[in-house]
Amino acid sequence: MSADRCDVVVVGARCAGASTALLLARAGFRVLLLDRVDFPSDTLCTHHVTRPGMRLLDEWGLLDPLLDGGCPTMTRLVYHAGDTVRLAGEVPATERLRGIYSPRRRVLDDLLVRAAVDAGVDFRPGCTVVGLLADGDRITGVRYRSHTGPEGHVRAALVVGADGMRSSVARFAGAPIETEHPRLTCVYYSYWADLPTDFELYARDGGHLGAARTHDGLTMVVSYFPQAEFARIRHDPMSAYLDSIRAAAPELADRMAGSRPVERLRGSGSQHNFFRRAAGPGWVLVGDAGHSKDSIVGTGITNALRQAAVLADELTAAGLDDAALRRFAARRDEEMADGYRSTLDFGRLEVPQEQLNRLRWMQTDRSATAMFVAAVAGALEPADFVPSLEGAAR
| Site residues for ligand FAD per CB under 6 A | 11-17, 34-37, 43-48, 128-129, 162-164, 168, 187, 268, 271, 287-289, 295, 298-302, 304
Nearer to ligand FAD by Cβ, of 146 and 363: the residue is 146
Separation between Cα atoms, residue 267 and residue 234, nearest integer Å: 9
Separation between Cα atoms, residue 361 and residue 373, nearest integer Å: 14
Contact 203, 80 (CB under 8 A): yes
Nearer to ligand FAD by Cβ, of 17 and 371: the residue is 17
Nearer to ligand FAD by Cβ, of 96 and 166: the residue is 166
For the chain, give the number of residues: 394
Separation between Cα atoms, residue 271 and residue 319, nearest integer Å: 34
Separation between Cα atoms, residue 129 and residue 164, nearest integer Å: 13
The DSSP line for 22-42 is HHHHHTT--EEEEESS-SS--
Rounded to the nearest 5 degrees, what angle is found at the Cα of 59, between the Cα atoms of 117 and 284? 60
Q: Count other Cβ atoms within 10 Å, centred on residue 102.
A: 24
- Strand stretches in 96-249, DSSP E: 122-125, 127-135, 138-146, 151-161, 177-181, 185-193, 199-204, 207-213, 218-226
Q: Provide, rounded to whole angstroms, the least separation between the CB of residue 380 and ligand FAD.
A: 19
Nearer to ligand FAD by Cβ, of 199 and 389: the residue is 199
353: left (phi over 0), alpha (psi -120 to 50) or beta: alpha
Helix 300-318 crosses helix 15-26 at what angle (to 10 degrees)? 30
Separation between Cα atoms, residue 247 and residue 101, nearest integer Å: 27
Q: Provide, rounded to whole angstroms, the least separation between the CB of residue 44 and ligand FAD.
A: 4
Contact 227, 184 (CB under 8 A): yes
Q: Provide, rounded to whole angstroms, the least separation between the CB of residue 388 and ligand FAD.
A: 26
Q: DSSP assignment, residue 84?
A: T
Separation between Cα atoms, residue 241 and residue 262, nearest integer Å: 15
Q: Provide, rounded to whole angstroms, the least separation between the CB of residue 324 and ligand FAD.
A: 20
Nearer to ligand FAD by Cβ, of 60 and 371: the residue is 60
**Residue of minimal Cβ distance to ligand FAD:** 300
Q: Provide, rounded to whole angstroms, the least separation between the CB of residue 361 and ligand FAD.
A: 29
Q: Provide, rounded to whole angstroms, the least separation between the CB of residue 289 and ligand FAD.
A: 6
Q: Provide, rounded to whole angstroms, the least separation between the CB of residue 78 and ligand FAD.
A: 17
Q: Provide, rounded to whole angstroms, the least separation between the CB of residue 170 and ligand FAD.
A: 10
Nearer to ligand FAD by Cβ, of 184 and 362: the residue is 184
- Nearest CA to 5 out of 159, 157, 154 is that of 154
Contact 114, 62 (CB under 8 A): no
Q: What are phi and psi of 350, to 5 degrees?
A: -115, 145
Nearer to ligand FAD by Cβ, of 145 and 360: the residue is 145
Nearer to ligand FAD by Cβ, of 227 and 369: the residue is 227
Q: How do beta strands 31-35 and 5-11 pair?
A: parallel
Nearer to ligand FAD by Cβ, of 47 and 213: the residue is 47
Nearer to ligand FAD by Cβ, of 14 and 104: the residue is 14
Q: Provide, rounded to whole angstroms, the least separation between the CB of residue 341 and ligand FAD.
A: 17
Q: Provide, rounded to whole angstroms, the least separation between the CB of residue 353 and ligand FAD.
A: 28
Q: Provide, rounded to whole angstroms, the least separation between the CB of residue 95 and ligand FAD.
A: 24
Nearer to ligand FAD by Cβ, of 97 and 371: the residue is 97
